[in-house]
Amino acid sequence: MASIAHEGHGHDHHGEHHHEETFVSKYIFSHDHKMIGKQFLITAVFMGIIAMMLSILFRIQLAYPGESSDFLSFFLGEKWAPNGVLKEDMYLGLVTIHGTIMVFFLLTGGLSGTFSNILIPLQLGARDMASGFLNMLSFWFFFLSSLLMTVSLFVESGPAMAGWTVYPPLSALPQSVSGSGLGMTLWLFSMAIFIAGSLIGSLNYIVTVINLRTTGMTMTRMPLTIWAFFVTAILGVLSFPVLLSAALLLIMDRLAGTSFYLSDIIVSGEMLANHGGSPLLFQHLFWFLGHPEVYIVLLPALGLSSEIIATNSRKPIFGYKAMIASILAIGFLSFIVWGHHMFITGMNPFLGSVFVFTTLLIAIPSAVKVFNYLTTLWRGSLVLTPAMLFAIGLVSTFITGGVTGIILADSALDIAIHDTYFVVAHFHIVMGMSAVFGMFAGVYHWFPKLYGRMMNTRLGYVHFWITIIGAYGVFFPMHFVGLAGAPRRYYDYSVYNEFNQNSYDMIMDLNVIVTGFAIFAALGQGLFLFNFFYSIYRGPKAPQNPWNSNTLEWTTPVEHMHGNWPGELPTVHRWPYDYSKPGADSDFIPQTVPLAEGEEEH
């Protein structure tokens, strides 16, 4: 897959780093952070396509239950969609793998993997990551786990079917659902490898940020992107090992006959002797990662958008220090809120009330961030590049999805809407859409740095408008499906016929709308894919600093080279947000420009 990443033509700036590179060392087992970033991006794009396709398949089932669809039988065949009607088990499989790929492979590997790799050394003024070899290893773990996850879709008994949270005992007992056989084993091994890769990557990011900043790049002169990646990496290092332990215990319950999560079970008429385990233990371990994971996904997106919004507003980001404080506060709080996923699992209600308190506290730094974005836009001089549109879209989805979080964090209210489509709508908007918008914003903004070429702006505009209309068209109505009490992960809603025909009609109306918008949005992504791959090869050559930005990555030559800067590393004299500073000649002052006589640093 990495071989797809194309790197323009001959190098003009080899300088003292002149040495022969083979195809393999340059494109496949590359130690260069820019190439590794691109490898992450391309792999994640392919995983994203798969996950999006899966969602369209099950959306068709939800809008037209029981109707024969050639589209379904085309992709799933007679085994999983006999006569074009999706099988119940496969529905759960599709939902599970869609969630897993989107959360871990697209939004964790793809977002933080890509942009941490590309931007950390470039924006800090480092020649490369602290360890190029570990960096390469981190990608190859990621790639291997992506392959395993994809393969699991094709095994005979089906992929994992216990939901992306894989709660045991459902995921532990092959008798309970067909996907808990080989499919689940592959899921667990894939995730274990993914976590190993993610850990290696995160450690590398942390070390690089702490040690390899160039002269003058103090912590409080770092762009907010780096702050976001830094805190994200710390979250990853502290929380992913807990998921690994959860997965390992589950592997042992499945393969070694232990009883960590199993107790007093009779399944398919077989009485198991396991006693004393607790399914709640898994949930605690899972969500101890699961909640920081939300911010592992979200913080990089917020970091990217901070940078993009400041640059394209031609204004400093408002409240730089408050933004850093918010990132730190969100990062800290994210570790003590996991229980809000478990209000109704039978966890002690007193513990629940503690989690209500900590969870709602997160709304404060989140609100600070939103208001700071708004104030940054206020009296700016906005250049609406596709990246800027996506960044503004991110702020919108962050608000819209964030406010419903207040309802879900309130345990008393969560009782009534837990596990309904209200939750699905909430986290898709606040985490899914925001992170996807942040990722798109990042790709459009840094594409010139990635490939030395420009993406097509007009196609970018069309892509943005299709995506945001599609996103709201899908997830706005979904809230109301949830308020009608519709549980998530239901194959169809025929049960409503037995107790409330009116609600059934309403749910079906909305489901058709949702599916329509989902297909519309998915087709729109075709434009992005086309624009992306086409521009890699044939896009117009990029200028060195296309967006008139202050940060260091735009002082490197357009053609990639080892060590990033041809001569000495740049020296930093100011923060990265001196846009439209009164008294300056131009509306931006790169970080490498020394303070003028009598000039004050922000």
Tokens coding 417: 């809407």
- 227 within 8 A of 179, measured Cβ to Cβ: no
Residue (133 or 357) nearer to other proteins, CB? 357
**Which helix H or strand E contains 266, and what residues bound it?**
strand 266-267
Is residue 591 near other proteins by the rule CB under 8 A?
no
> How many Å separate Cα 441 from the centre of its chain?
13
Of the residues 154, 526, 571, 594, which one makes contact with other proteins according to CB under 8 A: 526
Q: Which stretch binds other proteins (CB under 8 A): 26-34, 40-48, 556-564, 577-585?
A: 577-585
Q: Which stretch binds other proteins (CB under 8 A): 17-25, 28-36, 47-55, 492-500?
A: 492-500
- 123 within 8 A of 553, measured Cβ to Cβ: yes
- The dihedrals phi and psi of 270, each to the nearest 5 degrees, come to -100, 125
Query: Cβ 410 to other proteins, closest distance in Å?
Result: 4
Taking the C-alpha atoms of residue 331 and residue 362, their distance in angstroms, rounded to an integer, is: 9
Is residue 501 near other proteins by the rule CB under 8 A?
yes
Is residue 17 near other proteins by the rule CB under 8 A?
no
Query: Cβ 416 to other proteins, closest distance in Å?
Result: 4
Tokens coding 299: 């913080």
Q: What is the DSSP string of 78-135?
A: HHHSGGG---HHHHHHHHHHHHHIIIIIIIIIIIIIHHHHHHHHHHHT-SS-S-HHHH
Of the residues 18, 20, 379, 585, which one makes contact with other proteins according to CB under 8 A: 379
Of the residues 29, 140, 189, 480, which one makes contact with other proteins according to CB under 8 A: 480
Is residue 66 near other proteins by the rule CB under 8 A?
no
Residue (75 or 335) nearer to other proteins, CB? 75
Is residue 223 near other proteins by the rule CB under 8 A?
no
Query: Cβ 282 to other proteins, closest distance in Å?
Result: 10
Residue (256 or 271) nearer to other proteins, CB? 271
Taking the C-alpha atoms of residue 158 and residue 180, their distance in angstroms, rounded to an integer, is: 8
Residue (208 or 372) nearer to other proteins, CB? 372
Taking the C-alpha atoms of residue 89 and residue 159, their distance in angstroms, rounded to an integer, is: 9
Q: What is the DSSP string of 133-153?
A: HHHHHHHHHHHHHHHHHHHHT
Is residue 392 near other proteins by the rule CB under 8 A?
yes
Which one, of 404, 399, 409, lies nearest residue 371 by Cα? Answer: 399
- The dihedrals phi and psi of 12, each to the nearest 5 degrees, come to -100, -15
- 40 within 8 A of 142, measured Cβ to Cβ: yes
Is residue 507 near other proteins by the rule CB under 8 A?
yes
Of the residues 49, 207, 237, 344, which one makes contact with other proteins according to CB under 8 A: 344
Is residue 385 near other proteins by the rule CB under 8 A?
yes
Is residue 502 near other proteins by the rule CB under 8 A?
yes
Query: Cβ 170 to other proteins, closest distance in Å?
Result: 4
Of the residues 472, 475, 532, 565, which one makes contact with other proteins according to CB under 8 A: 472
Is residue 416 near other proteins by the rule CB under 8 A?
yes
SS3 per-residue string spanning 269-285: CEECCCCCCCHHHHHHH
Taking the C-alpha atoms of residue 433 and residue 253, their distance in angstroms, rounded to an integer, is: 35
48 by Cβ neighbours in 10 Å (0-12 / 13-18 / 19+) ranks as buried
Is residue 484 near other proteins by the rule CB under 8 A?
yes
Residue (40 or 444) nearer to other proteins, CB? 444
- 86 within 8 A of 57, measured Cβ to Cβ: yes
8 by Cβ neighbours in 10 Å (0-12 / 13-18 / 19+) ranks as middle
Of the residues 375, 516, 557, 593, which one makes contact with other proteins according to CB under 8 A: 375
Q: Which stretch binds other proteins (CB under 8 A): 52-60, 210-218, 233-241, 528-536?
A: 528-536
Is residue 92 near other proteins by the rule CB under 8 A?
yes
Tokens coding 275: 């006693």
Is residue 443 near other proteins by the rule CB under 8 A?
no
Interaction residues for other proteins, span 94-153 (CB under 8 A)? none
SS3 per-residue string spanning 41-90: HHHHHHHHHHHHHHHHHHHHHHHCCCCCCHHHHHHHHHHHCHHHCCCHHH
Interaction residues for other proteins, span 144-203 (CB under 8 A)? 161-163, 167, 169-170, 173, 176-178
Can you tell me which residue has the tokens 């990621």? 142
The most distant pair of C-alpha atoms in the chain lies apart, rounded to whole Å, by: 84
Query: Cβ 486 to other proteins, closest distance in Å?
Result: 8
Of the residues 229, 491, 532, 554, which one makes contact with other proteins according to CB under 8 A: 491
Is residue 281 near other proteins by the rule CB under 8 A?
no
Interaction residues for other proteins, span 535-554 (CB under 8 A)? 538-540, 542-543, 546-547
Q: What region, left, alpha or beta, does residue 538 occupy, with left being phi > 0 and alpha being psi -120 to 50 degrees?
A: alpha
Residue 579: what residue type? Y
Query: Cβ 295 to other proteins, closest distance in Å?
Result: 18
Query: Cβ 349 to other proteins, closest distance in Å?
Result: 4
Q: How many residues bind other proteins (CB under 8 A)?
A: 150
Is residue 220 near other proteins by the rule CB under 8 A?
no
Is residue 64 near other proteins by the rule CB under 8 A?
no
Is residue 328 near other proteins by the rule CB under 8 A?
no
